[in-house]
Amino acid sequence: MTPDLAIRRSIRKVTHADFAAYPIWEWAIDEEVNLGNGESFVRPTSLDAVPPDPLGHYIVAANTTLSDGVVLPSCVEVSTRGKKQHVEPMFVFLLDRHLDFAGVETTALLSRYTKRVNIYPVRWEMAVPMAGETRLRTGRVRRSWWERLAQFWLRLRIGSGGRPLAR
């Protein structure tokens, strides 16, 4: 599919439907001065795999598995430096709202949406491969030490029936 380059927009305005039409987007950094776009603007590509560009930065469609097994659409950022590639989760789509992967607000909104306690992203899988690879890249969502501590505390509180824990 040939991309419509007029679709350029801020990364926060890109929807799940946009990623379904164009699974790979690139930062439109070179257009900041000429078109008046800010540094957060992206444009679609017609690529079907992430290229081995030595200085590439792409936003790629992905699927994210939550702690309860539900799969939601998401996106990851792929940065390449020479032959090294780094994939970092960006956000999960929840009804076309962008939720950061690791955040207290994300856990609260996902829990409210799924009607289950303490739901959060645990794993992601890219929707398209890296050039030259046959398997899709996957990864785990790393949660901060504070988030894990809060989750542990919540489990202790729930296990005690919400009563204060004995000292």
pLDDT (tens digit per residue) in 95-151: 878 998 877 788 888 888 888 888 889 999 999 999 989 999 999 987 666 656 666
Residue 34's H or E segment, with its range, is helix 32-35
CB-based contact 101:92 (threshold 8 Å): yes
**pTM confidence score:** 0.78
Q: Average pLDDT of the chain? A: 81
Segment 85-90 mean pLDDT = 91
Segment 36-54 mean pLDDT = 82
Residue corresponding to tokens 């001065």 = 33
Q: What's the pLDDT score for residue 159?
A: 53
E strands in the chain: 9-10, 24-27, 41-44, 57-66, 71-81, 84-94, 97-100, 121-126, 138-140
Q: What's the pLDDT score for residue 46?
A: 92
